[in-house]
Amino acid sequence: VRGLGVPPMPPDPAAVPTAGALRVTQEPGELQVAAGATVALQCRVEVAEGGAVLRMEWLRDGGLGALCATRLRFGTALPPSPCPPRAPGARLAWHPPRATLSLPQVRGNDSGRYLCRVTLEI
């Protein structure tokens, strides 16, 4: 499977979270995996407020809506949980400040760009 990864986002060393702000980075930039392998895509979230409530969505280009979506409290871990129905078998785990989307047994039609979108709820 080629092209499974995230869109490139250049780091901005001058960006420092302020009150009510967040910064999101994704890893890895791009990967190639064999069909049938498991892939783990990571999203790192930095929030100025320790107890902030976040809405996290994983999207794939060309997809219709979110593959996986959940609400999280920044300081509270979430064990791996399923992301049905759009991504059967996919699991999302949250260990602040890092979220991991695991895609088991990838196939050719899983290739594409994946985006972690995080919204800070006020």
Asked whether residue 73 is domain-assigned, the answer is: yes
Asked whether residue 16 is domain-assigned, the answer is: no
Token pair 């791996």 is at which residue? 80
The count of domains in the chain is: 1
Domain of 100: which CATH number?
2.60.40.10
Asked whether residue 45 is domain-assigned, the answer is: yes
Angle at 118 between CA 76 and CA 40, to 5 degrees: 75
Question: Domain range spanning residue 62?
Answer: 23-30+37-121
How many other C-beta atoms are found inside a 10 Å radius of the C-beta of residue 114? 22
Q: What does the pLDDT look like over 71-112, one tens digit per residue? A: 988 888 988 999 877 778 899 999 999 999 999 988 888 888
Residue 15's pLDDT is 46
Asked whether residue 18 is domain-assigned, the answer is: no
Q: What tokens does 56 get?
A: 């996290």
Asked whether residue 2 is domain-assigned, the answer is: no
State how far the Cα of 53 lies from the Cα of 30, in Å rounded to an integer. 29
* pTM (two decimals): 0.77
Asked whether residue 111 is domain-assigned, the answer is: yes
